[in-house]
Amino acid sequence: MEAIESLMFEHRLIERSLAALEGFTQSLHGQDGREELGRFVRFLRGYADKLHHGKEEGLLFTRMAEVGFPSDSGPVAVMLHDHDAGRALVTAMDELARRPQPWTEVEAGRVTEAAASFATLLRDHIRKEDRILYPMAEEHLSPQALDALGAAFDRHAEEHADAERELTELGTALSVRWSVEDPTACPPSECGACSGCGGLPVEDF
């Protein structure tokens, strides 16, 4: 699997986890879901952030900087800002998951609010990457640079194989347990590597 294609493949599991997170929070109805929220946090921090965003920040964005995409302005800077904003929301969910006592009604509302904000942020982020940033990378990086990026991704996968396998299983299990139809997802038959765009417009960076 080529480097950019592999990132888009990872997006699909992340999107399914976002739909599951919303399904979970919508089903709370005053129930104590601290342990289950903790499992979502573990997946989001481990897979979506450490593995997926880690490859983008440490490998893809570095390559893009070499061909004129700085990290302090432009599209890469927007992506980095989104990553940081997402981390803050996951931290808020983690703090709620670690509460020593069952959630109050107010705290349960905060869980739902943080989850909804995170899902909205990350879906928009994924659309921008799939439809704008990744095509920019493929256009401006040479075939040799893309090949080198793919080799770096392969080494990353080898180094984190156990974690990636465990987290993929966790994300899949959460998606199955809390499966709901994702209204933003477009049918795979509509595009070869579905970006989950749902036909929605994406604002320019």
pLDDT digits (tens, 9 = 90+) for 140-149: 999 999 999 9
Contact of 118 with 93, CB cutoff 8 Å: yes
Q: Report the mean per-residue pLDDT for the chain.
A: 89
Q: CA-based angle 55:1:156, to the nearest 5?
A: 30
Q: How many angstroms separate the first and last alpha carbons of the chain?
A: 28
pLDDT band for position 188 (50/70/90)?
Answer: very low
Task: Find the helix packing angle between 161-177 and 143-159, rounded to 10°.
Answer: 80
Section 97-111 average pLDDT: 92
pLDDT band for position 205 (50/70/90)?
Answer: low
Q: What are residue 149's phi and psi, to 5 degrees? A: -65, -45
Question: Could you tell me the two tokens for 141?
Answer: 């990086």
Residue with tokens 């481990």: 46
Of 100, 99, 88, 93, nearest in space to 17 by CA = 93
Determine what percent of the chain falls in helix, strand and coil, rounding each to the nearest 5: 75, 0, 25
Whole-model pTM above 0.85? yes
Section 120-127 average pLDDT: 98
